[in-house]
């Protein structure tokens, strides 16, 4: 859960998000080193009148400042490509959920069950109970089992939406007439919040996403109750 004045990302709740955090730190360190070097060179050139004649025309320096950026780009590109392939990998999901975007709410359908689906609306501010978050709570949460591969099929019924949960490292566009898929594994129990990340009209800010990760036994009890109510 994000908090005011937070400078970094939310705590990772999935293996993919942990990889993204590590890559962010890796790339940021490279940026810091380059920025420090450039700042030092600028300060040195401005603050001194001395000139080294060997720097004015040097083949060795030109070779270095041509090869070094290429090496740095490779050091950034290889981990990035690895994470891209990890995010695209979907191996034998234990559960498939179809998330449909509407103006302005989400509907979820658990396709492995015969009749398990519901709409998820934001709880208005006046109806919130103590401890609930404004603009983030929903009347029905998407419940998933912990440490199980979950496949999400994302689409929309009217305009473009985007299903995004930062703590899980998941963000997938919901396009009318098209079925996109992504996957995640929750590494710990908890409640994880997200919001529609594609401007979709007047109430774009009022269609939150709440994913609740629970142990498998609790998930089975929840699904049984939902099927009985249906």
Predicted confidence (pLDDT) per residue in 128-178, tens digit: 999 899 999 999 999 999 999 999 999 999 999 999 999 999 999 999 999
Edge-to-edge order in the sheet of strand 150-156? 117-120, 105-110, 95-102, 150-156, 180-184
Domain ranges, ordered by start, for the chain: 13-86, 93-227
Burial of 65 (0-12, 13-18, 19+ CB in 10 A): exposed
* Model confidence pLDDT, tens digit, residues 51-108: 777 776 778 888 888 999 999 999 999 999 999 998 888 888 999 999 999 999 999 9
Helices (H), 97-213: none
pLDDT at 230 (0 to 100): 64
Strands (E), the chain: 95-102, 105-110, 117-120, 142-145, 150-156, 161-165, 170-174, 180-184, 190-195, 208-214
Mean predicted confidence (pLDDT) in 31-43? 94
What pLDDT does residue 189 have? 95
Residue range 188-205: mean pLDDT, rounded: 93
What is the topology classification, in CATH, of domain 13-86?
Helix Hairpins (1.10.287)
The domain 93-227 is placed in CATH, from the list 1.10.357.10, 2.60.40.420, 3.30.470.20, 3.40.50.300, at 2.60.40.420
Residue 41 pLDDT more than 90?
no
pTM of the model: 0.84
């Amino acid at each position: 859960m994000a908090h005011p004045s937070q400078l970094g990302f939310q705590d990772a709740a999935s293996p993919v998000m942990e990889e993204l955090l590590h890559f962010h730190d890796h790339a940021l360190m490279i940026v810091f080193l380059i920025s420090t070097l450039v700042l030092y060179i600028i300060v040195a050139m401005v603050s001194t009148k001395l000139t080294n004649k060997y720097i004015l025309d040097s083949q060795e320096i030109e070779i270095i400042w041509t090869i070094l950026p290429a090496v740095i780009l490779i050091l950034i590109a290889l981990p990035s490509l690895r994470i891209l392939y990890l995010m695209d990998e979907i191996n034998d999901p234990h559960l498939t959920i179809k998330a449909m975007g509407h103006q302005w709410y989400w509907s979820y359908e658990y396709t492995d069950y015969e009749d398990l689906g519901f709409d998820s609306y934001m709880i208005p501010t006046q109806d919130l109970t103590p401890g609930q978050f404004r603009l983030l709570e929903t009347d029905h949460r998407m419940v998933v089992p912990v440490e199980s591969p979950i496949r999400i099929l994302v689409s929309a019924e009217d305009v473009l939406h985007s299903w995004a949960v930062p703590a899980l490292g998941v963000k997938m566009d919901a396009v009318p007439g098209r079925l996109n898929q992504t996957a995640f594994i929750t590494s710990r129990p908890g409640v994880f919040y997200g919001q529609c990340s594609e401007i979709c009209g007047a109430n774009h800010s009022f269609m939150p996403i709440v994913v609740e990760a629970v142990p498998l036994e609790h998930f089975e009890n929840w699904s049984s109750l939902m099927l009985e109510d249906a």
